Structure 1
Amino acid sequence: MRAVSAFTTVVVLVALAVRAAAVNVTEIALEIDQRLQVGVSEIEQLVQSALESAAAAGTTVTATTTATATATEYVTVFEPTKTGPGATGTATAEPKETDCMYSTGELFDMYQAFLDNFMYPANIAQANSVNSTLLSENCVGRIDDTREFDGRELNTEYLFGLFAFLNNGTGVINILGQPTNYTIVEFLGGCNTAATSALVNLYVSDLDLNATIQLDFWFRWDEEGRVAEYDATIRRASRLYDILSDVVSARLSGSNVATAEGTTAWKSLLVGSICGQATIYCTGDNLQYESMEACEEYLMANVRMGEVYEGGMNSIFCRSLHQNMLKFRPEVHCPHVGPSGGDMCRDEDMDYETVVWGYKKAFSSFIYY
């Protein structure tokens, strides 16, 4: 029984090491002493089997083994190599040592200040500032289901301008809502980083309804108390998106349930909104379509409505998000609603593997200690 237990332990530990390689842990040391009553030769066979399995799965793992003359200790060090798109070198950037600049209470206060300014109408002032003082000059952010954003100006536009609806009154129709209040449900902070979660109420004015989202953020603040990095996820976003889409579809078709006709009508309304905003703001050198009619015809025929995970892809959903940004910098944002989608609403660099490994593009590392 003791030998079987030891054997099982080794298998589990080796399996964990190979799994860790896939998620970029650079070293796993396994120490198995003589009390487990497992011979070195048995362990070597297990390790070799694990390496072969890892190679077959596309994970490159190298291992070095040592054992004392009396076989009282056995150590295996796994050094994984990244195999994702554009892989070079080791799997993970080195953790960054950082001074503890803030107490947990101070981090909580900074997080709360961010949420306070994210709420409507406080976000209007942040959006109009163009360069929010809550963000560092070189702020880098990523929002799941969309893309990465570099620099204070772009992050100000997307974090605050997207939900401020500064182009209301110009015929715009938004699938998004205005954040009106929040409840913090999770917070863990130390030094200058925090993992957070809050329930945020969105008022969707075009549907006259309220919807709650759970917004998760990883934050890092700089020495001036400004957000230097963030990685954000909206939990259950796809479920809420489907619910809202079905509500609209049902209303437009005069039915109690979503219909194909209602869904087409919903797409047509969003296309009309996008093209209307493009007509107002995308003129001269920023022109994307020859006319309102040309815009509507192109988008209806050539661009899919899109799922929620296609918020950064060639979809109507993506363009409906970016229509809110046209007012700020037409020269930057008009291509995002145009035929090409610019660098924000296109499929070319949004395949699954590229998105999964996208943290390497957005952040040099989000590991701090």
Structure 2
Amino acid sequence: MEKIPQVLTSAAKKAASLSVEELWKLQTTIWDNFLYPANVKQIQSINSTLFAPNIQGRVDITRTFDGAELNTEYIFGLFADPTKLSLIGVPVSYNITKFAATDNIVSASTVFMFNATMFGKLIPITIDTFTTFDPETKQLTQYDATFKWMDFLFAELYAEIGTLIHANSTDQVDAYLTNIMAQTLCEAHSAHCTGADQQYADATSCYNYLTTQVRLGQVYELGRNTLWCRLMHAEMLQYRPSVHCPHVGPSGGGMCVDDQTYAEKVLQNYFTNSPFIPSL
């Protein structure tokens, strides 16, 4: 039988514990502010006081996010505009269906309802999370999030798009999405990426590059060299162009790049702020 990993250092054991009730409140406060339109207020605050300055975050279908400013932008800014191009829209409600907590650690499974304005309907999405909180400041210090069954969801949404555009094949759906996503990206680039932040010579070269040199991508590739990844980062251009414009450009800016194998993704030793295994 495998032994419990000995990551339970003296520092971890000295960390103050939070009650289950306190951890429940901290978790629900994060989710309350993740919902639209509460997330709009959070993204306008930069930086959210809900996050520790050195917060570390990871999302299975994207990648890692360091620091309060970056996490404020992505957690709250990504789903803060129901008028933007998005398959899943904005989160409007949630229900925590599983919850376990000890010390400063929370494990939760949460079903969110997203208002998918593109389809005119509500979509349920389950997000499983492991989180840690600072016992003194009560701020979120780490999160490891997994979007469940997203392949299943995207397959259904692609089929719906196919029906809407009267497509005869998945290739036609891919071509349709490639076109509207490239147009959206190039419009955002023209609006926000100017001067030293400019990534493409003009809108035409932007569109040509994105439609011929970058693949559309799969649902797990929102952190790889894909259109899906760049579309996600396009939402961030308005906040910090100098940081985010490279993410939609040809280089991918370190965010939309094919820099990991499957094994490297699985074995990545990322979190350093606090153990995810409780002290004994």
| TM interval, short-chain normalised | over 0.9
* Residue of structure 2 aligned with 1:352, choices 240, 256, 262: 262
In the alignment, the residues of structure 2 paired with residue 310 and residue 353 of structure 1 have an alpha-carbon distance, to the nearest angstrom, of: 15
Check if 1:230 corresponds to 2:140.
no
Aligned match of 2:162:
249
Aligned match of 2:100:
188
- Checking the alignment, whether the CA contact within 8 Å between 2:105 and 2:276 is kept in structure 1 is no
Check if 1:112 corresponds to 2:22.
no
In the alignment of these two chains, the number of paired residues is 275
SS of the equivalent of 1:198 reads strand
In the alignment, the residues of structure 2 paired with residue 98 and residue 186 of structure 1 have an alpha-carbon distance, to the nearest angstrom, of: 28
The root-mean-square deviation of aligned C-alpha atoms, in Å, is 1.8
Q: Give the letter aligned to residue 367 of structure 1.
A: I
* Residue of structure 2 aligned with 1:301, choices 196, 201, 212: 212
1:177 deviates by 1.4
1:246 deviates by 2.4
Ranges of 4+ aligned residues in structure 1 off by more than 4 Å: 92-95
In the alignment, the residues of structure 2 paired with residue 285 and residue 228 of structure 1 have an alpha-carbon distance, to the nearest angstrom, of: 33
Check if 1:132 corresponds to 2:48.
yes
- Checking the alignment, whether the CA contact within 8 Å between 1:250 and 1:259 is kept in structure 2 is no
Check if 1:321 corresponds to 2:232.
yes
Check if 1:213 corresponds to 2:125.
yes
TM-score, reference length from structure 1: 0.71
Aligned match of 1:286:
197
In the alignment, the residues of structure 1 paired with residue 63 and residue 112 of structure 2 have an alpha-carbon distance, to the nearest angstrom, of: 21
- Checking the alignment, whether the CA contact within 8 Å between 2:113 and 2:123 is kept in structure 1 is yes
- Checking the alignment, whether the CA contact within 8 Å between 1:200 and 1:213 is kept in structure 2 is yes
- Checking the alignment, whether the CA contact within 8 Å between 1:247 and 1:258 is kept in structure 2 is no
- Checking the alignment, whether the CA contact within 8 Å between 1:196 and 1:217 is kept in structure 2 is yes
Structure 2: gaps (5+ residues): none
Q: Give the letter aligned to residue 236 of structure 1.
A: W
In the alignment, the residues of structure 2 paired with residue 245 and residue 311 of structure 1 have an alpha-carbon distance, to the nearest angstrom, of: 16
Q: Give the letter aligned to residue 209 of structure 2.
A: Y
SS of the equivalent of 1:305 reads coil
In the alignment, the residues of structure 1 paired with residue 45 and residue 71 of structure 2 have an alpha-carbon distance, to the nearest angstrom, of: 12
Aligned match of 2:39:
123
In the alignment, the residues of structure 1 paired with residue 188 and residue 271 of structure 2 have an alpha-carbon distance, to the nearest angstrom, of: 30
Aligned match of 2:278:
368
In the alignment, the residues of structure 2 paired with residue 98 and residue 117 of structure 1 have an alpha-carbon distance, to the nearest angstrom, of: 30
Q: Give the letter aligned to residue 227 of structure 2.
A: I
Q: Which has the higher contact order (CA 8 A, sep 6+)?
A: 2
- Checking the alignment, whether the CA contact within 8 Å between 1:248 and 1:266 is kept in structure 2 is no
Structure 1: gaps (5+ residues): 1-15, 27-91
Q: Matched residues, percent identical?
A: 35
Aligned match of 1:341:
252
1:98 deviates by 4.2
In the alignment, the residues of structure 1 paired with residue 149 and residue 53 of structure 2 have an alpha-carbon distance, to the nearest angstrom, of: 31
Aligned runs of 1:51-62 on 2, under 5 Å? Answer: none
In the alignment, the residues of structure 1 paired with residue 182 and residue 278 of structure 2 have an alpha-carbon distance, to the nearest angstrom, of: 44
Change (3 A) 1:226 1:258: farther
Q: Give the letter aligned to residue 274 of structure 1.
A: L
Aligned runs of 1:164-175 on 2, under 5 Å? Answer: 164-165=80-81, 168=83, 172-175=84-87
SS of the equivalent of 1:213 reads strand
SS of the equivalent of 1:132 reads coil
1:141 deviates by 0.7
1:228 deviates by 0.6
Aligned match of 2:175:
264
